Amino acid sequence: MVDTTKFQNVFGHLPTVRVFCPGRVNLIGEHIDYHGYGVLPMATEDGTEILAAPNGQSIIRIANVDDQYLEHTVPLPSDWSGASPPKWYDYVLCGWKGIMEKLNSDQIGFDLLVEAALTTWMIHTNKIFEGITREEIADLCAIAEHYVGTQGGGMDQAAEVLAVDGGALRIDFSPLRSRVVTLPPLAAFTVLHCGDTLNKAATSQYNERVVEGRLAGKEALGRSLEEMLQLCEGLPSEASREELENLLSKEVVDECLSPNTQHLTSFKLRPRARHVYSEALRVDKFEEACKAGELLEMGKLMYASHESCSKHLPPLHQ
């Protein structure tokens, strides 16, 4: 828990708002939320905390307990409308911008002390949202994060906002909905860090996966996951932009591309599609295995998920 003395030392007064946002680990359903498929994350005891308070000034002051993240001040009124690549405080400003857009509200100065930069925090601190459902808050968080350029699907925000004690969540999209998945009593999960870190919003690589999956999916609308997997084998492993425009039309290709992927001239379709549709099937099977208490099957599915990511979605830093 962040000591309020730290806040007072930085800003000269005590906080009036404290929010805790749990961390999350995705058990299965990697890189498919932005294609609209269900995921199965769970919350962690470790998380992130925010302290905030109005400051009576025409400024927003954002500080971090970690000294490597420098304090930032935004004068008001501000026309901030996003940043690419983003700094750490831009994720906080995403949430602020989301609130302003939602409420069409006046810009009010405040002080804010954080342990990490999470869009979800900023939106939770605004008590005006007490009459809005958690699902609506999660949707708003996901949309707001687009201000830093990532075309995410909303899993992170939904997991953080909808998390419950004692269980995982099956989260589906369009519309956003969730249900508790009870894990077998003997299930234990170890989370390991591979040692590599990456700011996903700093480059176009994350969004490249998004648009390649969108393009591959244009040929598979209205079909079952099993049928989609079969169709994958008919997709080219890699296709040029010209080939895709001839196959789908220039308008469809342009619609699939995000602003920071407009420069792409080649797209990996088959490997992306193979992962998306097989992973969506694994999520369904994993939920069934949880209900049946089949730990071995759960482990096999998680292993297959990691294998698919390694083969079809090589690390973004490579």
Strands (DSSP E) found in the chain: 17-28, 40-54, 59-64, 72-75, 110-114, 168-172, 177-181, 238-240, 266-268
Question: Which of these ranges, 42-56, 101-115, 209-223, has the smallest mean pLDDT?
Answer: 209-223
Asked if residue 166 and residue 43 are part of one domain, the reply reads yes
In the chain, the number of structural domains is 2
Using the 3D structure, point to which of 149, 181, 213 is the last residue of a domain.
Answer: 181
Residues 209 and 166 in one domain: no
Among 3, 46, 156, 284, the active-site one is 156
Highest mean pLDDT among 38-52, 133-147, 208-222, 281-295: 281-295
pLDDT value of residue 59: 95
Quote the pLDDT of residue 221: 60
Residue 297 structural domain = 200-312
Residue 255: per-residue pLDDT: 80
pTM for the model: 0.81
Task: Verify that 118 and 49 share a domain, yes or no.
Answer: yes
Q: Are residues 44 and 128 in the same domain?
A: yes
Instruction: Enumerate residues 6+ apart whose C-beta is below 8 A from 259.
Output: 149
Q: What's 95's domain CATH number?
A: 3.30.230.10
192 falls within a domain? no
Per-residue confidence band for 123, with pLDDT thresholds at 50, 70 and 90 = low
Beta bridge partners of 178: 171
pLDDT greater than 60 at residue 219 = no
Question: How many C-beta atoms surround the C-beta of residue 115 within 10 A?
Answer: 18
Whole-number pLDDT of residue 117: 39
* Residue 150 sits in the same domain as residue 282: no
For residue 193, is it within any domain?
no
The pLDDT value recorded for residue 218 is: 55
Q: Catalytic residue at 3?
A: no
164 lies in the same domain as 250: no
In angstroms, rounded to a whole number, what is the distance separating the alpha carbons of residues 120 and 189? Answer: 25
Residue 254, domain CATH: 1.20.1440.340
